[in-house]
Amino acid sequence: MDPIVETARSAKAASQLLRTLSGECRAAALNSMADKLISCKEELMAANAADLAAAPGLSDAFKKRLQITEKIFKYMVDRLQEAAALPDPVGKILEGRTMPSGLQVKRIAVPIGVIAIIYEARPNVTTDAAAVALKSGNAVILKGGSESLRTNRVLAAAMRQAAEDSGLPADAIQLIESTDHAVVGELLKQEEFIDLIIPRGGKNLIKAVSEGTRIPVLKHYDGICHLYAAEDADTDMTVSLTVNSKCQRVEVCNALETLLIDAKSAPRLLPAVAAALGEKGVELRGCAECCALLPGIKAASEEDWETEYLAPVLSIKIVHGIEEAMAHIARYGSGHTDGIITNSLSLSERFIAGVDSASVLVNASTRLSGGGDYGMGAVVGISTDRLHARGPVGPAELCSYKWVAVGSGQTRS
Amino acid sequence: MDPIVETARSAKAASQLLRTLSGECRAAALNSMADKLISCKEELMAANAADLAAAPGLSDAFKKRLQITEKIFKYMVDRLQEAAALPDPVGKILEGRTMPSGLQVKRIAVPIGVIAIIYEARPNVTTDAAAVALKSGNAVILKGGSESLRTNRVLAAAMRQAAEDSGLPADAIQLIESTDHAVVGELLKQEEFIDLIIPRGGKNLIKAVSEGTRIPVLKHYDGICHLYAAEDADTDMTVSLTVNSKCQRVEVCNALETLLIDAKSAPRLLPAVAAALGEKGVELRGCAECCALLPGIKAASEEDWETEYLAPVLSIKIVHGIEEAMAHIARYGSGHTDGIITNSLSLSERFIAGVDSASVLVNASTRLSGGGDYGMGAVVGISTDRLHARGPVGPAELCSYKWVAVGSGQTRS
């Protein structure tokens, strides 16, 4: 049998066993995985160094994503332990009622089944994704980038061993080791065994996966995120939220790309914002009105408004009222994360109702639209889909549900 | 521009307006649609008669599905009024918390956007689907069978007029009138404008739609539904639940197809069940053990266990304990609706945990796994998918959600 079919089939079998195990058992396995990671740290770091050494032609940015630094190692271990400590999403009664007939109806969270994650360089996705998937009782098939194969082998072996030691089927965690490009195509055909695919990476990867499969795909597209500083926006808060949204980490999907400033507050806000961003080395690109107020900055082109920079660059546009701000967001935004800075209740309510994004923020940094700051713990990413899961995808979002109805002989008339 | 592109584009525009209207306004439109249906009844019945007259070569079963009887007319009107009376699913706060940082986080139900329903003969799907979709603030594109085009034209015109009279955009309800087969293919390409497709009809229709589009598809596949009468199953309840599950309406997805009887209770239950089903004209097909206990009945073949009869035929298998019953359901069932008849708490708990179906019932007819008996009101169908919606699909299931986070300057550190 094709090895990919065998992988998918054994993941399905593992998921059927996993579904019957307790949350306590799954939590113990996650803690055991964290321990195992610590005990095999030397081997892991050596494998990671070998991956880095084998890739001399790669860009510095790529190597940075591939490398497990001390900070990232700690983060990986923490995430496994955090996932273990989260409340069990499986078995949660999502709603329930007793009908006039006496039928007791409940909707209960259950695992989805088998989830395949297709991703690129970052090795921490290997542990993060496995942690969230297992927390919700799913088996996981991991297909990482070929450049991190040595690293991922050590991680997967450690997690499989820890799973087995805790009474979970080792096959609940599967790593696809083949670096042949055809294996992804083969994986996308396993609709009999795989229930969900999550591609983590660039637009092209996500597009190729979605177009090549009949399995449901949870998409994590661009974040072209906006902040709108309303006419009454506080100066200090606008500076602080803009700097944090743009600079706290530039290469992530919920970093700020465009600042919209109301014309009435622009003369007051723009100089302060520009000074603070200048200190952080952020390049500004403004609309014509903005350039008139901030002489010397680069003019923004049409392309700027539709670009996810993922870099220390910010486009700034002056808008005339909230409707123009919302129209700009509707036209150029990606429905990921958009916020307003205001002290006006009516303006904030208008913005919340009118902006159709996965996360709509009031007086908060766009960087907060993740799992941790929403109280969801570990997440596998931030979905830009409208179906099943929208926004941060944590353990609860990797669950399906079933209806349970208990009666005493009720029939339909 | 291609008329299908124009239809999809105007549905999207209507959905963006619809999203901002109140639940009161949508409910008023649904009531107005019911009134309009009543006032155009004569025209509707004439159109339906013309559809029937234009289709002399069709089977009686097909004509039965196509015909709007008095009973079905009343049902259509009732469904619109029922949908109007249901609580508004849009804007519901699905969860919420205040984080230690002071950030107030809420998850709020919002409409999905534009939903396309592709279906076959039954004209009541036209009003049912529009009712559920509009209730949740979605625009709907209806593509019914060509045989019911005259009927659907009258229905769509009435609903569009009623929508407009109530301040809703008429384009929130769109009927595709072209009977050219290519239009469905064109519709499946409108991923820019359509957010969800629901095919209602046979396996081949659902399969063709899922394979031909990148738009998410909510699938309503077969119901191969089981009841397992445990060793302690009450005789009267077993007879009553079997008869109701099989006979109340044979052609629907949650009708019973296979009865599993525990070997310990078979000598007691089988004669009573067989007598009651015999009176109802149901043909029985049994496993070897069953045939030994009920001489003269037809032997079931392997094919019987995997067949959705949708007809007065029932397969019966004798099983030796609950594990064999669950293994049979896992192998041959379709994950739609399966139930157990027992007074044992441990057996019912084992069955609920072990059977991975959208609806798991205890001591209740399989026919109850619909929307009404679960307290969900109108539904567009029963999903056999595991993502987004599983089981009955009502107004709440036709919603997405967004996260709203209100702060006072919170940043990420």
Please judge whether B407 and A360 are an interchain contact, meaning their C-beta atoms are less than 8 angstroms apart. no
* d(C-alpha B129, C-alpha B119), whole Å: 10
Tell me the nearest-neighbour CA distance from A98 into chain B, angstroms: 9
Question: Among positive and negative, which fits the CA dihedral A160, A161, A162, A168?
Answer: positive
Q: Of A164, A134, A209, A190, which Cα lies nearest the Cα of A9?
A: A190
> Which 43-82 residues of chain B touch chain A by CB within 8 A?
none
* d(C-alpha B336, C-alpha B221), whole Å: 8
Q: Is the pTM of this model over 0.80?
A: yes
Q: What is the tens place of the pLDDT at every residue in A200-223?
A: 988 888 989 988 898 999 998 889
* Phi, psi angles (nearest 5°) of residue B5: -60, -40
* d(C-alpha A80, C-alpha B316), whole Å: 48
Distances in whole angstroms, Cα of residue B313 to Cα of each of B202, B245, B286, B318: 19, 12, 11, 17
- Residues in A closer than 8 angstroms to B235, CB to CB, are none
Indicate whether B311 and B214 sit together in one domain. no
The helix, strand and coil proportions of chain A, stated in percent and rounded to the nearest 5, come to: 45, 20, 35
Coil vs helix vs strand at B283: strand
Indicate whether A59 and A123 sit together in one domain. yes
A212 touches chain B (CB under 8 A): no
pLDDT reading at A80 higher than 90: yes
DSSP letters for A97-160: EE-TTS-EEEEEEEE--EEEEEE-S-THHHHHHHHHHHHTT-EEEEE--GGGHHHHHHHHHHHH
Model confidence at A57, in pLDDT bands (50, 70, 90)?
Answer: confident
B374 touches chain A (CB under 8 A): yes
Tell me the nearest-neighbour CA distance from A394 into chain B, angstroms: 14
Q: Is residue B413 part of a domain?
A: no
Indicate whether A62 and A140 sit together in one domain. yes
Model confidence at A332, in pLDDT bands (50, 70, 90)?
Answer: very high
Q: Which residues of B100-123 are buried (b: 16+ CB within 10 A; e: fewer)?
A: ebebbbbbbbbbbbbbbbbbbbbb
Indicate whether A36 and A100 sit together in one domain. yes
* d(C-alpha A25, C-alpha A19), whole Å: 11
Burial class of residue B219 in the structure, from the number of CB atoms within 10 Å of its CB (0-12 exposed, 13-18 middle, 19+ buried): middle
Indicate whether A129 and A253 sit together in one domain. no
- In angstroms and rounded to an integer, the radius of gyration of the C-alpha atoms of chain B is 24
Distances in whole angstroms, Cα of residue A157 to Cα of each of A50, A132, B149: 17, 18, 60
Question: Among positive and negative, which fits the CA dihedral A393, A395, A401, A406?
Answer: negative
Is residue A169 a contact partner of residue A15, using CB atoms and an 8 Å limit?
no
Q: Domain of B97?
A: 3-219+388-406
Q: Nearest residue of B to residue A208 by CA position?
A: B214
* d(C-alpha A60, C-alpha B228), whole Å: 62
Q: Mean of the pLDDT values across residues A176-196?
A: 93
* DSSP single-letter state for residue A379: -
Please judge whether B244 and A412 are an interchain contact, meaning their C-beta atoms are less than 8 angstroms apart. yes
Indicate whether A295 and A322 sit together in one domain. yes
Q: Nearest residue of A to residue B104 by CA position?
A: A374
Q: Is residue B380 part of a domain?
A: no
What is this model's ipTM? 0.94
Please judge whether B411 and A359 are an interchain contact, meaning their C-beta atoms are less than 8 angstroms apart. no
* d(C-alpha A181, C-alpha A122), whole Å: 19
- Share above pLDDT 90 across residues of chain A, in percent, rounded to a whole number: 86
pLDDT reading at A1 higher than 80: no
Those residues with Cβ within 8 angstroms of residue B326's Cβ, 6 or more apart along the chain or in another chain:
B228, B350, B351, B354, B355
* Phi, psi angles (nearest 5°) of residue B313: -135, 140
Among the partner-chain residues A359, A400, A408, the one whose CB lies closest to the CB of B390 is: A400
Residue A341: beta bridge partners? Answer: A229
Q: Nearest residue of A to residue B208 by CA position?
A: A214
A411 touches chain B (CB under 8 A): yes
Identify residue B73 by its one-letter amino acid code: F
> Within 10 Å of residue B33's Cβ, how many Cβ atoms?
31
Q: Which two tokens stand for residue A136?
A: 């919700």
pLDDT reading at A284 higher than 80: yes
Q: What is the CATH number of the domain that holds B236?
A: 3.40.309.10
B299 touches chain A (CB under 8 A): no
Q: What is the CATH number of the domain that holds B121?
A: 3.40.605.10
CA dihedral A317, A322, A324, A326 (to 10 degrees): 90
B237 touches chain A (CB under 8 A): yes
Please judge whether A407 and B364 are an interchain contact, meaning their C-beta atoms are less than 8 angstroms apart. yes
Those residues with Cβ within 8 angstroms of residue A352's Cβ, 6 or more apart along the chain or in another chain:
A360, A362, B404
Q: Is residue A323 part of a domain?
A: yes
* DSSP single-letter state for residue A231: T
Q: Is residue A119 part of a domain?
A: yes
* d(C-alpha B144, C-alpha B213), whole Å: 18
Would you say how long chain B is, in residues? 413
Q: Of B119, B112, B111, which Cα lies nearest the Cα of B195?
A: B112
CA dihedral A47, A52, A54, A56 (to 10 degrees): -170
Q: Of B130, B117, B143, B120, which Cα lies nearest the Cα of B63?
A: B120
Among the partner-chain residues A112, A363, A405, the one whose CB lies closest to the CB of B364 is: A405
Among the partner-chain residues B352, B364, B375, the one whose CB lies closest to the CB of A410 is: B364
Indicate whether B178 and B288 sit together in one domain. no
* d(C-alpha B192, C-alpha B20), whole Å: 20
**pLDDT at position A376:** 87
Among the partner-chain residues A353, A368, A386, the one whose CB lies closest to the CB of B405 is: A368
* d(C-alpha A121, C-alpha A125), whole Å: 9
**pLDDT at position A181:** 83
Q: What is the tens place of the pLDDT at every residue in A286-328?
A: 999 999 999 989 999 999 999 999 999 999 999 999 999 999 9
Is residue B230 a contact partner of residue B322, using CB atoms and an 8 Å limit?
yes
Model confidence at A230, in pLDDT bands (50, 70, 90)?
Answer: very high
Indicate whether B206 and B270 sit together in one domain. no
Please judge whether A404 and B358 are an interchain contact, meaning their C-beta atoms are less than 8 angstroms apart. no
pLDDT reading at A68 higher than 80: yes
**pLDDT at position B293:** 95
Q: Is residue A411 part of a domain?
A: no
Q: Of B196, B207, B167, B165, which Cα lies nearest the Cα of B34?
A: B165
Q: Is residue A378 part of a domain?
A: no
* d(C-alpha A190, C-alpha A216), whole Å: 11
Pick the more confident residue, B231 or A56. B231
A292 touches chain B (CB under 8 A): no
* d(C-alpha B227, C-alpha B341), whole Å: 7
Indicate whether A187 and A78 sit together in one domain. yes
Question: Among positive and negative, which fits the CA dihedral B376, B379, B385, B388?
Answer: negative
Indicate whether A234 and A215 sit together in one domain. no
Distances in whole angstroms, Cα of residue A244 to Cα of each of A233, A275, B28, B353: 16, 14, 46, 47
pLDDT reading at A141 higher than 80: yes
Indicate whether A193 and A295 sit together in one domain. no
Among the partner-chain residues A16, A365, A400, the one whose CB lies closest to the CB of B410 is: A365
**pLDDT at position B104:** 97
Tell me the nearest-neighbour CA distance from B153 into chain A, angstroms: 30
Please judge whether A240 and B401 are an interchain contact, meaning their C-beta atoms are less than 8 angstroms apart. no
Please judge whether A412 and B97 are an interchain contact, meaning their C-beta atoms are less than 8 angstroms apart. no
Q: Of B339, B341, B386, B385, which Cα lies nearest the Cα of B359?
A: B339
* DSSP single-letter state for residue B8: H
* d(C-alpha B257, C-alpha B300), whole Å: 12
Q: CA triplet B394, B395, B397: central angle to 5 degrees?
A: 70
Model confidence at A378, in pLDDT bands (50, 70, 90)?
Answer: confident
One digit per residue, pLDDT tens: chain B, 413 residues? 689 999 999 999 999 999 999 999 999 999 999 999 999 999 999 999 999 999 778 888 888 889 999 999 999 999 999 999 999 999 999 999 999 999 999 999 999 999 999 998 789 999 999 999 999 999 999 999 999 999 999 999 999 999 999 999 999 999 999 988 899 999 999 999 999 999 998 888 898 998 889 899 999 888 999 999 999 999 999 999 999 999 999 988 999 999 999 999 999 999 999 999 999 999 999 999 999 999 989 999 999 999 999 999 999 999 999 999 999 999 999 999 999 999 999 999 999 999 999 999 999 999 999 888 998 888 898 999 999 999 999 999 999 999 999 999 999 99
Coil vs helix vs strand at A367: helix
Is residue A363 a contact partner of residue A238, using CB atoms and an 8 Å limit?
no
Residue B119: beta bridge partners? Answer: B200
Q: Nearest residue of B to residue A365 by CA position?
A: B411
Q: Is residue B147 part of a domain?
A: yes
Indicate whether B159 and B250 sit together in one domain. no
Query: How many Cα atoms sit within 13 Å of B226 on the Cβ side?
Result: 34
DSSP letters for A269-303: HHHHHHHHHHHTT-EEEE-HHHHHHSTTSEEPPHH
Q: Which residues of A10-46 are buried (b: 16+ CB within 10 A; e: fewer)?
A: bbbbbbbebbebebeebbbbbbbbbebbeebbeebbe
Tell me the nearest-neighbour CA distance from A405 into chain B, angstroms: 5
Residue B141: beta bridge partners? Answer: B116, B174
Q: Of B156, B140, B256, B157, which Cα lies nearest the Cα of B200?
A: B140
* DSSP single-letter state for residue A305: H
Is residue B15 a contact partner of residue B111, using CB atoms and an 8 Å limit?
yes
* d(C-alpha B79, C-alpha B83), whole Å: 6
Please judge whether B359 and A403 are an interchain contact, meaning their C-beta atoms are less than 8 angstroms apart. yes
Specify the number of domains making up chain B.
2
Q: Is residue A261 part of a domain?
A: yes
- Residues in A closer than 8 angstroms to B348, CB to CB, are 406
Would you say how long chain A is, in residues? 413
DSSP letters for B183-244: HHHHHTT-TTT--EEEEES-HHHHHHHHHT-SS-B-------EEEEE-TT--HHHHHHHHHH
* d(C-alpha A401, C-alpha A92), whole Å: 9
Please judge whether B368 and A103 are an interchain contact, meaning their C-beta atoms are less than 8 angstroms apart. yes
